[in-house]
Structure 1
Amino acid sequence: MDLSSEQLDDLRELASSRHVSADVALRARIVWWSAEGRRRKDIAELAGVVPVTVDRCKARYAARGLAGLEEKRRGGPRDQVPPQTRGRVIALTKMSPPAESGLSHWSTRTLADHLRRREGISVSWHYVARIWREENLKPHRSDTFKISKDPAFADKVADVIGLYLAPPGGAVVLSIDEKTQIQALDRTQPVLPVTFAATEKRTHDYIRHGTTNLFAALNVTTGEVLGECRPNRNAVNFLAFLKKAVKPHAGKDIHVVLDNLSTHTTPEVKAWLSKNPHVHFHFTPVGSSWLNQVEIWFGILTRQSIRRGTFSSVNVLIKQIRDYIDSWNENAKPFTWTATAGEVLAKVRLVQTNMKKLVRNNSK
């Protein structure tokens, strides 16, 4: 079976979930092993089933995706959750998470947790995942941006996009941010369920060895990236990295695009800026990290180097990131920003209007 990385990730998550039955998890594992190219008879032996069951699981997945691996319900309605709850899941999925959550987009677990804690609605992440599949909702792959409530949103958008489209002559524009809590996952061979009477134990198919935080600066003009991994994300490490990022451009005006986080605006950072008037900060609107070009590079790094990688330690993960940055810089190319501030603001107004209509319709 030829499956995408997103499909494989979904299968792994379902196979290791504690919120589904052992049968559903085993079906997911069978399809996953098939996608890895394992032979039919080997899969049957590993799973403890007959070969025809392997064929049946693959056929169910091919016909209906993950929904085809779920239990077939006999009699009665398929879903006992009120239709208002389904509508609320769909409405929230199409909206940006609250600014105070710190989330850029919903996952099935964070949305289910938000509904439980904030709205008193108890549904499982598996229910949310099924609604997303049925409605073809993919917030983690959305190309839209988060709607900001920053009162200075328009001014900040115009300021940052102005740097991208028409940088000051002779100046350097750096896009800086931190990618936090990158996990060093050691992906091992799948572990089969071990059953003792009516008790089942399942383990994940990976081991966590710790995390690191990546500070990165993207040169908007050349596309080159300076990166440095540090164990902690704090104001001290940010200021140390900032000094390192601007050092190669001594004698030039330097414009830095970054998020307005507390670590970026400490008294120590402000004091350093006052002593270095050639460095200018340009903050993106609150909740609008999509406007920071280095976020594009973070996404590429994740897809091409981290997401499917196997790391036996944090040091191995850090070396992989360093090697990727070196390889990137050998043929660095800048991202081409084409949208004007006016076009972005017009899209925001359209999205806000559509969201208000959606909320009204789902509240009726």
Structure 2
Amino acid sequence: MLRFLETVLITVVFGLLFTWLRVPLSWMLGPLAGVLLWTGFTRRQLSFPLWLRNVGLVLLGYAMGLAFTADSARQIVTQLPWMLLATVLTVGFSLLMAGLLTRFTGIDAASSAIGSIPGGLSQMVVLAEEVQGADQTVVAFLQTIRLLTVIFVVPFLAVHSLSNGPGADLSTSSPASASSASSIFGEPYTWVLLAGFVLAAALLSVRLKLPTPWFLGPLAAAALLTVSGYPPPHLPSPMILAAQWCLGVYLGLGIKLTSLAGWRRLLPLSVISGLFIVGFSLALSFWFSSMHPMSVATAFLGTSPGGMTEMGVTATTVHADVSLVVAYQMFRILFILFVVPYGLRWAFRARSTRPENR
């Protein structure tokens, strides 16, 4: 209990510090950095229960599922082939960069691949637990550097170079419709039913052995309700921050920088890899905007390897098509979370069974 209280104190202080410094995802990266620095300099052991990590995954999965509106679903249907093409090209280019990282740094291929694929910091680190041979420390390091690179570079380019001025915001009608449909959740018993439905979806995902089940189950449950015309209520901001805090602490405890001997050599190559992936997305956006009636900013934010929330907020700022950006980001996330893990498991299982690797 004392170690847990020490963990809470240290990570909350760093969360507040990163918030004051206006660091993106401050309540995930702040606690993560706090754990790393505190354990690295003091050599003290901190404690954090696994069930709190799962609570954080449930809350974030639910919140992300709310963005899957009927409008974004229609966008996915109409541009499904192009979303699939963009996702496959992005994943393929990320794996190419992962291969170069493996060649020049010597880290194992599984860690490099999972660390380079733009599927989200928390989801990819959790996935690393499920792929044989993957090192969570390397995966978290690569995903953190990629995430920071994308969060700082993509909005800067979108705001200062690709902004197309005032334009239509297709999300303007969403709040009213959501408020009307959410009236069914006004009674206390409906909240109990909603919580039970989300929890049942998470447990079913665990039973089916889906990748990151505590995240995918609630995401699917919230998305199903939203698309059906009965969007559940949004979570209060403190709950989202608490979920980010849970994951940040858990990820920080899973990273052992002392075991990553070549991190000084890995850092600049990770940044370069992230910049190359952003550059690839920018080139892809010019091609997509020439093939479809969408702005370069919309295409860039839709294909960029960033988070759906961050790219959606940036889309609003530059007057891009928010629903289309969300649709592309959601498709990439779902594709990576549902398809890529099975492909990676198969590839590295087959690789480990080769005679020369026995």
TM-score w.r.t. the length of structure 2 is 0.27
Q: Between Structure 1 and Structure 2, whose CA radius of gyration is higher?
A: 1
Compute the TM-score of the two structures, normalised by the length of structure 1: 0.27
Bigger helix share: 2
